[in-house]
């Protein structure tokens, strides 16, 4: 009874801190080092990196305005604003705000970015619900954010089009219930590139996979998402925590080196395969642990 009373009077902040497998140190890294400013740069076609050290924000520019994928932590708001300006683009020209998944490190800046740009927020299914609630409703259950109005709720396979650019939302749940793999095609020097924004991996470390009563289909959902990702064949994929992926390549990308330093048609298939192998191992380990000992 006393515990129940305690739970009621605890602030929401304390509650998520107790539920989430993220440690205070990890959380501090997201808001600290990972959110630090880095120079923005042109990636490929009309896609630009405007994010922080290890949390991405991608800007896709068009003659009719721009699309932004992910707004990062609250600490990244000024970083992203400065980066957009450094590249010579105007914040006011951002017309659409998208997200890979509704976790604080990717959408905490949405409300502030919507306020300064007036952009339409579009998000898929349960992630749209999380955005407008301001709550992490995923298996991670971590920090929330300022609730933001979702102007368009997307379904699996929906497209977002602006200024001749089309992005497709592919529902790939697991990491969050509305996790979205965005795909698009861009041109550079006459060559087409298919692009995947890779935002949907496995549920966070520490999340219970087998017999998770709140998310009973978590394992099946994640496996299904791998099957879908295996059908995608991007020339280039762009991750949402890109520091190690981009390490040693940024200067070559900035210099416009050919072939494109990120061009790797086999890379994505390998990433998905490796991620699935590790996931299967994790599921197996949990099953071994939870099954009764042999007599």
- Which residues bind to Zn ion, rule: CB under 5 A? 103
Q: How many CB atoms lie within 10 A of CB 28?
A: 12
Closest separation between CB of residue 207 and Zn ion, Å?
Answer: 11
Decide whether 244 or 291 has the Cβ nearer to Zn ion.
Answer: 244
φ, ψ (nearest 5 deg) of residue 23: -85, 160
Closest separation between CB of residue 239 and Zn ion, Å?
Answer: 11
Q: How many CB atoms lie within 10 A of CB 213?
A: 6
Closest separation between CB of residue 169 and Zn ion, Å?
Answer: 17
φ, ψ (nearest 5 deg) of residue 187: -120, 140
Closest separation between CB of residue 209 and Zn ion, Å?
Answer: 15
Decide whether 139 or 261 has the Cβ nearer to Zn ion.
Answer: 139
CA 141-142-143 angle, to 5 degrees, is 135
Decide whether 142 or 235 has the Cβ nearer to Zn ion.
Answer: 142
Query: What is d(CA 220, CA 81) in angstroms, rounded to the nearest whole number?
Result: 39
Decide whether 45 or 239 has the Cβ nearer to Zn ion.
Answer: 239
Decide whether 103 or 260 has the Cβ nearer to Zn ion.
Answer: 103
φ, ψ (nearest 5 deg) of residue 118: 75, 15
Query: What is d(CA 275, CA 281) in angstroms, rounded to the nearest whole number?
Result: 10
Instruction: Kindly provide the residue ranges of all beta strands, DSSP E only, lying in the chain, ordered along the sequence.
Output: 41-44, 47-49, 58-62, 65-69, 94-98, 120-124, 152-154, 159-162, 165-171, 180-188, 191-198, 236-239
Contact between residue 95 and residue 65 where contact means Cβ atoms under 8 Å apart: yes
Contact between residue 192 and residue 155 where contact means Cβ atoms under 8 Å apart: no
Closest separation between CB of residue 54 and Zn ion, Å?
Answer: 12
Decide whether 27 or 103 has the Cβ nearer to Zn ion.
Answer: 103
Closest separation between CB of residue 68 and Zn ion, Å?
Answer: 18
Question: In 3D, which of 45, 68, 73 has the Cα closest to residue 57?
Answer: 68
Query: What is d(CA 236, CA 251) in angstroms, rounded to the nearest whole number?
Result: 17
Decide whether 103 or 168 has the Cβ nearer to Zn ion.
Answer: 103
Closest separation between CB of residue 106 and Zn ion, Å?
Answer: 6
Closest separation between CB of residue 269 and Zn ion, Å?
Answer: 22
Decide whether 144 or 261 has the Cβ nearer to Zn ion.
Answer: 144
Query: What is d(CA 151, CA 114) in angstroms, rounded to the nearest whole number?
Result: 11
């Amino acid at each position: 009874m006393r515990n129940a009373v305690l739970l009621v009077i605890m602030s929401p902040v304390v509650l998520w801190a107790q539920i989430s497998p993220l440690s205070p140190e990890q959380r501090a890294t997201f808001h600290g080092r990972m959110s630090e400013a880095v120079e923005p740069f042109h990636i490929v076609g009309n896609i630009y990196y405007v994010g922080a050290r290890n949390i991405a924000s991608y800007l896709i520019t068009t003659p009719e305005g721009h699309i932004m994928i992910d707004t990062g932590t609250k600490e990244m708001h000024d970083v992203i604003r400065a980066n957009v300006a450094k590249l010579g683009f105007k914040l006011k020209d951002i017309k659409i705000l998208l997200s890979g998944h509704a976790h604080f490190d990717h959408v905490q800046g949405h409300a502030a970015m919507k306020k300064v740009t007036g952009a339409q927020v579009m998000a898929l299914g349960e992630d749209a619900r999380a955005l407008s609630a301001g709550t992490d409703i995923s298996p991670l259950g971590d920090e929330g954010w300022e609730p933001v109005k979702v102007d368009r709720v997307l379904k699996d396979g929906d497209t977002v089009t602006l200024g001749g650019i089309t992005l497709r939302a592919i529902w790939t749940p697991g990491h969050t219930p509305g996790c979205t793999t965005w795909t698009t095609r861009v041109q550079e020097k006459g060559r087409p590139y298919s692009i995947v924004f890779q935002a949907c991996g496995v549920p966070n470390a520490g999340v219970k996979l087998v017999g998770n009563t709140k998310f009973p289909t978590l394992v099946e959902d994640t496996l299904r998402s791998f099957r879908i990702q295996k059908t995608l064949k991007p020339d280039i994929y762009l991750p949402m925590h890109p520091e190690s992926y981009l390490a040693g390549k940024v200067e070559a990308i900035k210099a416009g080196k050919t072939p494109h330093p990120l061009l790797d048609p086999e890379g994505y298939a390998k990433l998905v395969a490796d991620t699935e192998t590790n996931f299967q191992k994790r599921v197996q380990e949990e099953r071994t642990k939870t099954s009764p000992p042999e007599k």
